[in-house]
Structures are given as C-alpha cells and as structure tokens.
C-alpha cells in the first residue's frame, strides 16, 4: 500500500491492519454577493491574506445560464429544513482553473458561507451539478490551506508564497483539490476538504455521469436523510468490511438498499480510493426530477448528518457499496 494515498485517519492501527489486504484508502468560501456579480478565479499567485478564504486575481464573467441554474438549485434546497439558511442568501461565483470548466458557487448569509455548489460545463455547452453541500463540507478552506503551506515551507512570513510558487483550486470528479506548483519541484495535490496529500488526479475534469443538468421544471422531489447519524467515519466501525458487496444496477437498487433496516452504506473503490477520497459513509439521498419526465436523479449524502452531496450514478459507476449497520456503534 502506498502511504501517499492514505488519508490521515487511515493511520489508525486497527483500520490499517484490517484494510491492508483489501482496500487502498485515500490519502472556500467567497464573500457573499449578488447572483449576477463577477468574481475572481480561485488561484493564488503571490500572497495569502489571512482574511480571504479563496484567493485570486483574474476576473471572469458569469454566464447567465449558470446563474439561472444556480438560482434554481439554491431555491429548491432552501425548502429543506437542513438548508433553511439558504433562503434569500447571497450567491457568488469563482471559476476553478484552468479556464472556466468548473465553478465554485458559494451561498452566504450575513457575510458568512452557509453552503456551496460545484458546477461543471458539459460538451453541449450546458452545466451539470457536480456536487453541493452545507457549510461543514465547504471545500477550498483557507485556513487549512495556510497551515499546509506553512508546514511545507511554501508560505513565508508575511503570508508570502515562496518565489515562483503558485496555488490553484481545481476540481476533478468527486475530488476538489489544491494544485501547488514550485519551480524545479514536483506538483503537489492536496484534498481541498481534508487537506491530505494525494497522487496526481488523472483525466477526470468532466461533468459527472448522469448528474443533474440544467433543465426547466427542475425540482427536489424527495429526501432520505438520517434522523441521527452516530458516525460519518467508516473507521469507527469496521464491520462493513465483512459485509458482502451490494449488487446495485441503478437508482432504484440504491434507494432500496438505503431503506433496508437501519443501515447506512460505505462507498469504496478498491485500488482507487485515493482518487475519490474514499472510503466514506453514505447516509442519505436527495432525489431530483424534471417535471413530466418521471426520471429521478439521485445525490448521495455523506459527512455528518449528510453535509456533502455527490451524484449517486458517479459513485455506482466508479466503486462499490457495503452495508454499515449503525446499531453496532
């Protein structure tokens, strides 16, 4: 097992011993604004002001189609109890480099971030919802980045980056990362939520498979979230390693698996966990639908009590699920 691919929590002795034979675990907020405002790129070129959460110099115009899609998603989510603070919130945008292939959208109330969306452009010029979540799952955290840069000697006194160093926010499928380049040195990739160093992401800067695309008549039709989730860390209860891989061929199978008993699920991608920040617990679902189509698009909730939502079709295509029975915790 390559230590560079492991998350810090994987260093727990019991977990490492049990997982060694079968798994390879892995390892911004903007100021609130109006939905029509331009915003700076989330790239760092020279300095890191302590008061700024996502840094950048380059301006980028926000397409009207992106704004419209964003406002629809925010409006639908704000009807949910766990997203009530999204009502009448400010919306701001930052492209995730290079270019404007993906966007980080920050939802803010009273100048403080309360959630986010990441949207990715599609080949037909549309946009797709890559992921979304509440404040606790906010990617591209400034303070975590600063600490990582300090530890590595890249951030100098006075919040100045080392000569020639550059930090850029990027998004790969299921994986927000900080890309850190320095002259004459290998590029460093840090998970933009956990802060863990990752191997180089490969070929996944595309919209999610079967994710939610911008369409008229879009609604959040149902939710399935835990009333009380006692863990969001699969290493807190390793019994899932002994449960069989679930056979899931589509959305209905995943819905049924979540409804069975008192089980949450663990997503894992053996041999590729580092590519997705896995393993992690899936503890709920959001179902989206375009009016009149009857077809649902599912987003899987992960994190404490469901704070980060990822396209379920992407998870089913790139990994496997096992049962985690929370009654044992």
| pLDDT tens-digit series, residues 203-235 | 666 777 788 999 889 999 988 876 555 566 888
Are 40 and 177 in a shared domain?
A: yes
Are 266 and 229 in a shared domain?
A: yes
Are 226 and 95 in a shared domain?
A: no
- Count up the domains in the chain and report the number: 2
Is the pLDDT at 200 greater than 80? The verdict is: yes
12 lies in a domain? no
Which of 195, 221, 243 delimits the end of a domain? 195
Distance (Å, whole) CA 111 – CA 106: 11
Distance (Å, whole) CA 178 – CA 146: 11
In terms of Cβ atoms closer than 10 Å to its own Cβ (0-12, 13-18, 19+), residue 189 is buried
Helix (H, G, I), strand (E, B) or coil at 226: coil
Are 91 and 185 in a shared domain?
A: yes
Are 49 and 168 in a shared domain?
A: yes
250 lies in a domain? yes
Confidence of residue 84 (pLDDT cuts 50, 70, 90): very high
17 lies in a domain? no
Is the pLDDT at 12 greater than 70? The verdict is: no
Are 168 and 281 in a shared domain?
A: no
Across residues 66-73, what is the average pLDDT? 96
Query: On the CB side of 167, how many CA atoms lie within 13 Å of its CA?
Result: 25
Across residues 36-43, what is the average pLDDT? 35
3 lies in a domain? no
pTM exceeds 0.85: no
Are 39 and 184 in a shared domain?
A: yes
Distance (Å, whole) CA 160 – CA 146: 11
Distance (Å, whole) CA 320 – CA 277: 14
Are 110 and 181 in a shared domain?
A: yes
Distance (Å, whole) CA 102 – CA 204: 12
Is the pLDDT at 130 greater than 90? The verdict is: yes
**Domain limits for position 75:** 28-195
Helix (H) or strand (E) holding 142: helix 142-151
């Amino acid at each position: 097992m390559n230590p560079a691919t492991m998350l810090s929590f994987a260093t727990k002795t019991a977990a490492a011993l049990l997982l060694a034979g079968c798994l390879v675990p892995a390892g911004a907020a903007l100021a609130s604004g109006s939905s029509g405002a331009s915003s700076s790129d989330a790239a760092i070129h020279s300095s890191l002001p302590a008061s700024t959460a996502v840094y950048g110099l380059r301006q980028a115009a926000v397409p009207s189609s992106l704004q419209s899609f964003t406002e629809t998603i925010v409006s639908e989510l704000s009807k949910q109890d766990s997203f009530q603070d999204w009502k009448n919130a400010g919306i701001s945008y930052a492209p995730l480099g290079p270019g404007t292939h993906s966007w980080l959208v920050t939802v803010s109330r009273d100048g403080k971030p309360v959630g986010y969306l990441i949207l990715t452009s599609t080949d037909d010029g549309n946009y797709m919802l890559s992921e979304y979540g509440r404040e606790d799952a906010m990617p591209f955290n400034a303070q975590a980045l600063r600490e990582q840069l300090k530890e590595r000697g890249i951030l100098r006194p006075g919040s100045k980056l080392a000569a020639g160093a550059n930090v850029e926010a990027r998004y790969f499928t299921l994986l927000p990362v900080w890309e850190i380049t320095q002259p004459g040195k290998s590029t460093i990739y840090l998970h933009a939520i956990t802060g863990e160093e990752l191997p180089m992401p490969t070929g996944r800067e595309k919209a999610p498979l079967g994710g939610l695309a911008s369409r008229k008549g879009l609604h959040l039709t149902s939710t399935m979230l835990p009333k009380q989730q006692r863990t969001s860390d699969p290493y807190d209860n390793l019994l899932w390693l002994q449960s069989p891989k679930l056979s899931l061929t589509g959305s209905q199978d995943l819905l049924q698996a979540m409804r069975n008993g008192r089980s949450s699920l663990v997503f894992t991608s053996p041999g590729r966990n580092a590519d997705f920040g896995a393993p992690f617990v899936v503890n709920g679902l959001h179902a989206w639908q375009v009016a009149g189509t009857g077809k649902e698009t599912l987003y899987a909730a992960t994190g404490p009590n469901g704070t980060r939502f990822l396209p379920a079709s992407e998870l089913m295509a790139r990994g496997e699920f096992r049962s985690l029975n929370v009654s044992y915790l």
